[in-house]
Structure 1
């Protein structure tokens, strides 16, 4: 019994040391858990931030592409309209030229017919005079 009585304070001392070590480990675990949670939160925030930056860049690229497509459509439409207008003007110019040439041809035909008639009359007059 003596041995058991002597070991009892030693066991209590050892138990107290283990309890103190448990408290220390528990406190360290809490600190490590908080640091880990803070690191995880920082990483999540950084990821979200990078995701937002990437989405903004994608949006800017999309807006730029749409702007360029609209400009290309406007340029194409303007060019087509210019070409249609030029074609109409060319057609009108050709029609005017054709009309002028038809009038000139008609005038030449009339002049030719008049000249032929005059020559025939002159020939007839000369024949009658002879």
Structure 2
């Protein structure tokens, strides 16, 4: 039987997660930490506050799709000049998708075998932070 895992997860991800919002490619999730439910993404593209579908393609597991809305955008800069965007994404806890994935989110909270990727669900919010300089504009 053919493996149904995303092809990219076998070779290119290597502990990284691809993030897609509303069906558009937005970047690679490179790290997730428990403190603040942070997800590090590079090559993030334009995102508007009305986006409501976030898809995370994780290595060695099926993709996760969450429905909700972007709640806040915060901009800061590191001393080295790196631009950081913190995005609060609140997903619909009443949706079938959340019920389906909430247990899975908690299951993978301990991280992958390599320990490089961890997804955490806390207070029905996923906070995406430390985005790369390539962002042109965030509405």
TM-score (norm 1): 0.13
Whichever structure has more strand as a proportion of its residues is 2
Bigger relative contact order, structure 1 or 2 (CA pairs below 8 A, ≥6 apart): 2
